[in-house]
Structure 1
Amino acid sequence: MDDWIVWLLVTVGFGVAEALTLSLFLAPFAVGALAGTVASAAGADLLPSAAVFAVVTAVSMLLLRPVARRHLRQPSTTRTGTDALVGRTALVLQPLGGPEGLGQVRLDGEVWTARTEGLDEIPAGSTVTVLEIRGATAVVTD
């Protein structure tokens, strides 16, 4: 079997492994193996092809790893759980008011205890906006 075919199989192996892990750790090795494939197909022996593999892998690692690290450190833009409820509107079921500002709202099809902060009473049937979720209580404003 020709050397370039072996290099091509190594390239595919690293590429598939990278696609399965999505860590951007094996991608530089796949790029280096592809360079080794090209060198071998151009007529280079095993040692020069391996040197091309090592150099291209090292350069790819130096260029790609900082990008991968920045990408992995970015906060998720998808809000889940109670964080996803912040900013949504809710329907007041029991008036919000009194000394504690407590009442009930329907938020995403569920009944939540709600509290207003610094507002007068909000009558039933009104629409409010969720400011935050504290435990099992939605803090709302009109």
Structure 2
Amino acid sequence: MNMIYLWIAVIVLSAASEAATLTLVSIWFIPSAVIALVLAMFSVDVWIQVLLFFVLSIVLLLTTRRFAMRCIVKKQTPTNADRIIGMNGIVTEEIDTIKQTGQVHVDGQLWSARGTTDVPNIKKDTVVRIERIEGVKVIVTPVSEASVDKELNQKENAAQTDTTNIDQ
């Protein structure tokens, strides 16, 4: 079989595969196959064409994949709701992850809430920290009394510092 046709087929199949998936699966083979095609046109030995194809494909994969993925993968755009992540809230309806019930009051809003796999059930009036948002539900973990007191003290100290600076 003429190697020129083989390399053209590799180029076409790799391009079609890449166009179908859009996830950088076979793009590395296209330039490698083009180089091998040029070598085939100059009647270079088949083993050199194949060796160069594989070596060049591996080198391209290792050197450019991270850069290419950084350019292609879009960062998630944060929403206004994301600002509550890390905030504390109060459980207003007991959280039962199995029954899929529970609500949390945080930043003046009521959110449907679920516990984490570590703490699936949380009693009413418990102080919780918002870990993440999944759809329209917040995923929460209970906060210890000590950390709540510490946070309140920090806020009071910050408020006192602000009023002291204003008085001066």
Normalised by the size of structure 1, how large is the TM-score? 0.50
Structure-1 separation of matches of 2:33 and 2:23? 18
Q: Percent identity at matched positions?
A: 24
Map of 1:61 onto structure 2? 61
Report which structure shows greater RCO (CA 8 Å, sep ≥6): 1
C-alpha distance in 1 between matches for 2:80 and 2:18: 32
Counterparts in 2 of 1:25 and 1:134: CA distance versus 1, 3 Å: farther
Distance 1:71 1:4, change over 3 A: same
Q: Does residue 1:38 correspond to 2:18, yes or no?
A: no
- Which residue of structure 2 aligns with residue 4 of structure 1? 4
Relative to structure 1, the CA distance from residue 84 to residue 38 in structure 2 (aligned partners, 3 Å threshold; closer, same or farther) is: farther
Q: Is the 8 A contact 1:39 1:52 kept in 2?
A: no
Equivalent residue, structure 2, for 1:71: 71
* Uncovered stretches (5+) of structure 1, i.e. residues with no partner: 86-116, 118-132, 137-142
Moved over 4 A (4+): 133-136
Pick which of 66-75 and 52-61 moved more.
66-75
* 1:61 Cα deviation after fit: 0.9
Question: After superposition, where does 1:61-140 map in structure 2 within 5 Å?
Answer: 61-71=61-71, 74-77=74-77, 83=79, 135=111
Conservation of the 8 A alpha-carbon contact between 1:25 and 1:65: no
CA distance in structure 2 between the aligned counterparts of 1:42 and 1:76, rounded to whole angstroms: 48
Taking a change above 3 Å as real, the CA distance of residues 134 and 12 of structure 1, as seen in their structure-2 partners, is: farther
Cα pair distance change 1:38/1:134, threshold 3 Å = farther
Residue deviations 1:1-27 (CA, integer Å, cap 9, x gap):
421111111111011101111111211
> Number of residue pairs matched?
88
Aligned-residue RMSD, C-alpha: 3.0
Task: Please give the secondary structure, in 1, of the residue aligned with 2:28.
Answer: helix
In the alignment, what sits opposite 1:20? 20
How far 1:59 sits from its partner (Å)? 1.9
DSSP 3-state at the match of 1:27: coil
Normalising by structure 2, report the TM-score: 0.43
What are the ranges of 5 or more consecutive residues in structure 2 without an aligned counterpart? 82-107, 113-168
Instruction: Give the conservation status (yes or no) of the 8 Å contact 1:36–1:52.
Output: yes
Return the structure number with greater helix share.
2
Secondary structure, aligned partner of 2:44 = coil
Q: Is residue 49 of structure 1 aligned with residue 52 of structure 2?
A: no
Change (3 A) 1:47 1:68: same
Distance 1:84 1:54, change over 3 A: same
